[in-house]
A and B are shown apart, each in its own frame.
Chain A
């Protein structure tokens, strides 16, 4: 079966023609292609610009299978989050050689360097904060998200154990990350409110078009957690690209982002928890960067880009040492 036939059957159409346009940039782990689809008959009759998201040759442990990403995308769309409309998931490898799903294509700029070069964008930051508050309205148990792992101890302690296990799988020891994870363990907050966290909510993972957010992308790491984790990830130094002085995502001050989040969510953000989760953010990104580099080193996916990600670890460790007051 070809992709066209899959779409025809899924859309209840009479016939479908697919034009494969090109590989879209973005997504170090997944592969995104732009498709123009002409559908005849059924409720989707007409021309559609879609994105086909397929599983990359090698993924990392943090990354969710595509079927789960699709279910999360459906759940957040239902909750009113601004995301590309998810259409159909295909788990049959005979159609495209690997699992994929189709979603509506959205337009705009997503590249972190370019977004942060546009200067101060408090409106975008406030919009994003409101979107984040909407994501955080989803709480366990959620039937369509039953595959999400329960929080076993606390979100922080679960995360620390996971990252320690990831470090154990790497060939070299990483003392600065061990130091940081130990600090995180000693200072771990008690269990509190649990919500759906995006877990990669940052500049680079949303699109901006005509001064507005056109959609939140990349749901491959989402799971149950502490709402402060997403707020801290967005503000972490490692995601400010060319504007490190703009502490909220390289596009606004923290106050703009925090205020908009608090207004939209009705929660009061705890500043010391944000500091805690920002420390976790750098440790987590460092561990993921090391895993990414292993995809290159193990020859599963040789790539200079992946090789160089491993050399970003020192600057992440620097931020960790600063946040844990070792510097």
Chain B
């Protein structure tokens, strides 16, 4: 068992120290760098709170689309299925209206919204 504070708590504290204690004393250029660092730490924290994927249903949704049973490791399966999904999108497998197209759009939507919540939660939609 790991000790506390855990990775998330450490990142959170480090980010707060940067913003509250370090940034006010810096030049504009360094303040910009601190903002970048804080942004990276924020993304890392939100990503750590999730799992392998930005949204928990990703693997299941892709497996359903491709009628595939769970065999590979989740991260490997995600990579393989997403490759297939990307290739099928390019070649027009989801061009025509139907259940597959609906499922494909749902996957795209879930994926993008979940990644956006991690990467830029303040984005004005």
Contacts and interface: CB of A to CB of B under 8 A. Distances in A.
Interface of A: 164, 167, 172-176, 178-179, 181-182, 186, 244, 304-305, 307-308, 311-315, 317-318, 321, 326-327
Contact of A315 (B33, B90, B119): B119
B109 A327 contact: yes
B82 A175 contact: yes
Contacts, number: 78
B10 interface: no
Given A173-B86, A176-B108, A179-B108, A318 B116 contact: yes
Nearest to B36: A304
Interface string B65-90: 00000000000000100110111011
B92 A307 contact: no
Interface of B: 33, 36-37, 39-40, 43, 79, 82-83, 85-87, 89-90, 92, 94-95, 104-105, 107-109, 111-113, 115-116, 118-120, 123-125
Given A175-B82, A304-B36, A314 B90 contact: no
Given A175-B107, A186-B95, A314 B119 contact: yes
B86 A321 contact: no
B40 to A, nearest CB: 6
Nearest to A177: B86
A67 B80 CA distance: 42
Given A175-B82, A175-B108, A304 B123 contact: no
B108 A321 contact: yes
Q: What 5 pairs between A and B have smallest CB-CB spacing?
A: A173-B86, A314-B115, A178-B89, A311-B119, A314-B116
Given A178-B86, A179-B108, A317-B115, 5 more contacts: A175-B107, A307-B40, A308-B36, A312-B120, A318-B125
A170 to B, nearest CB: 10
B46 to A, nearest CB: 10
A173 to B, nearest CB: 4
B119 A318 contact: no
A308 B36 CA distance: 8
A321 B89 contact: no
A17 B118 CA distance: 52
B85 A175 contact: yes
Contacts of B94: 179, 182
A166 B92 CA distance: 19
A311 B87 CA distance: 23
Contact of B120 (A179, A304, A311, A326): A311
Contacts of B105: 326
Given A175-B107, A179-B108, A318 B40 contact: no
A162 B92 CA distance: 18
A314 B33 contact: no
Nearest to B82: A173
Contact of B90 (A164, A307, A308, A327): A164
Contacts of B119: 311-315
A206 to B, nearest CB: 21
A326 B103 CA distance: 11
18 contacts: A173-B83, A173-B86, A175-B107, A175-B108, A176-B111, A178-B90, A179-B89, A182-B92, A304-B37, A305-B36, A308-B40, A308-B43, A311-B43, A312-B119, A314-B115, A317-B115, A318-B125, A327-B109
Given A173-B82, A304-B36, A318-B112, A181 B90 contact: yes
